[in-house]
Structure 1
């Protein structure tokens, strides 16, 4: 499939927070020097949503509060694919498993064969939607990125074992929040980091989600709160 490099692609990024109540640390890695998008920068694991992500079953869906906010200014059916992309990218780039033990019933898509071989099914219940940002115009790649925070206690694998990771990120490491700003990060990563610092000791989803909406016409800072009045069933909507 040919990708139009000028289009804005939906993407998911995962911030894994470890030891949040004692000495909070986050998982980061460095992009390659030859990467087209943000070369050499330290980032959180993440990437674009794939076409197959909407069809991957989740053993447990994203909580409704976060799903509503994902649907705001986006479309409610996208929430499932974004969660699947977040779990897939976390596995591919770090080798960490966000899932529960279980057997795959249907034929396993190529992107999920190694994950399925661990004996786990993807689980979105621990993900919290905390930030959204659209890459400004003029960049070589543009993404509508949703940032998910997850407590490291929800990870089913060894937190220090990155052997299954691909080579997209190097120097994978747990970085203390106090030291993270010393790393060479993209501007938006620094902004998200401030949001994580403010939420480090609070296990509940935020009351609203910041959204940097960079269109070709204007740049806006919005707050996503979700429509709490309308019925919303994450599992059903993912199948619609």
Structure 2
């Protein structure tokens, strides 16, 4: 499925008309694409962000968010590839890589109720409803991920995550993120939900259905979400997606105006080199 820049004008009001005097500082963030095989084929978990959110309000996206400084806590019980392995994949320091993996697990739990952790290195928790109060405390920042896992005797399952891509918010945006995207299979026995103030709706869809909804104007997708959906659609199934070999170069869209509407263009697309 091929998209051209004119296919995707951004929603009115999403891009400020007056650019900032200086680009906003980048904040490191993590996003997790939850996947499952279904009768309809490979599906992804999507959330329509609440309209009033300061970043990407009203857009359809994957669970994720910025790093909390406590995500770098080395006391987090951890199994799977170590921080050095993740650092090599994401081209960053091991300390940041550790924080990114922890943020990925924490944000996914906070925003969807899906917890990539278990009582030992070989298992994953089932129904996460018993952790409802801890989930709320994590959202309120009254509890850190390390404290939560220690209190419940759980181990973070870094081996359930796969590195996928690295996207940087355009310089014109007032809030900017250097976001690393991860893939993860939906754990058996758990249920993804929309019990979060950050989402107005949540649902499972095949990547092709989500892209068709975008083309028909039924949802709004930012370039990282759109491109990720297109890439996953090409994988065919869960196993193929999780085993895909990836090159994680930073991708920074640019914003240009056509016929009075803002459009996002990607490297290699018409207008990218000319855009300021």
Question: Which ranges in structure 2 are unaligned for 5 or more consecutive residues?
Answer: 1-22, 121-137, 214-218, 255-264, 269-276
Q: 1:57 to 1:116 in 2, by over 3 A?
A: closer
Rounded Cα–Cα distance in structure 2 between residues aligned with 1:221 and 1:191:
12
Task: Give the equivalent residue in structure 2 for 1:170.
Answer: 200
Report whether the alignment pairs 1:62 with 2:118: no
User: How much does 1:149 deviate?
Assistant: 0.6
1:11–1:49: 8 Å Cα contact kept in structure 2?
yes
Question: Which ranges in structure 1 are unaligned for 5 or more consecutive residues?
Answer: 103-107, 223-240
User: How much does 1:114 deviate?
Assistant: 6.2
User: How much does 1:214 deviate?
Assistant: 6.4
Task: Give the equivalent residue in structure 1 for 2:58.
Answer: 40
Per-residue CA shift, 1:36-67, capped at 9, x if unaligned?
11110010000001100010514213367654
Which moved further from structure 2: 75-84 or 201-210? 201-210
Rounded Cα–Cα distance in structure 2 between residues aligned with 1:41 and 1:175:
15
User: How much does 1:21 deviate?
Assistant: 9.2
Helix, strand or coil for the counterpart of 2:71?
helix
Which moved further from structure 2: 11-20 or 52-61? 52-61
Q: 1:118 to 1:197 in 2, by over 3 A?
A: farther
2:77–2:149: 8 Å Cα contact kept in structure 1?
no
TM-score normalized by structure 2? 0.65
Rounded Cα–Cα distance in structure 1 between residues aligned with 2:60 and 2:266:
26
Task: Give the equivalent residue in structure 1 for 2:245.
Answer: 206
Task: Give the equivalent residue in structure 1 for 2:221.
Answer: 185
Rounded Cα–Cα distance in structure 2 between residues aligned with 1:21 and 1:115:
34
Task: Give the equivalent residue in structure 1 for 2:191.
Answer: 159
Q: How many residues align?
A: 204
2:40–2:206: 8 Å Cα contact kept in structure 1?
no
Greater radius of gyration (CA): 2
Task: Give the equivalent residue in structure 1 for 2:143.
Answer: 110
Task: Give the equivalent residue in structure 1 for 2:109.
Answer: 91
2:165–2:248: 8 Å Cα contact kept in structure 1?
yes
Rounded Cα–Cα distance in structure 2 between residues aligned with 1:157 and 1:48:
27
TM-score normalized by structure 1? 0.73
Per-residue CA shift, 1:127-171, capped at 9, x if unaligned?
11111011010102100000001112xx265225x27x3221221
1:30–1:43: 8 Å Cα contact kept in structure 2?
yes
